[in-house]
Amino acid sequence: MRLTGGCFCGQIRYEISSPLKSARCCHCSKCRKVFSGAGSAYAEVIPGSFKWLQGQEALSRYESVKDWGLCFCKQCGTTLCGMHKDDVHGVTLGSVDGDPGIQIGMHIHVDSKAPWDHIGGEAPQYPEGPPQ
């Protein structure tokens, strides 16, 4: 299995050699801001399965909480992945080429969703973070 993805302008490309896991959509106010939408669509990667193919010099990183952050393309602004320390933790599903091979498994922080957001589908909804 091999997934590829990248940013809108095509400057940055990546590859994932294992299936994605734990796909979720977060509806908190921070995710709405960073993704400019109803929330995030994000899936975790298996450690060691992610590699940059091109354009790492065009990455910009924003650390929102100590050791946790997001990477964006400096040119087009595409949010590409989440980072923990120096490792890619997961990718935005919108940046994956074609079918990511996974569906949203949960909606989190739905108590803070935007008033105009109407969540559909069968995935469970959690008022706050994912169940422990």
43-59 pLDDT per residue, tens: 999 999 999 999 999 99
- pTM of the predicted model as reported, rounded to 2 decimal places: 0.90
Lowest mean pLDDT among 29-43, 46-60, 81-95: 29-43
27, 24, 43, 51: which is closest to 89 by C-alpha? 43
Q: Which fold has domain 3-112?
A: 2.170.150
**Average pLDDT estimate for 78-102:** 96
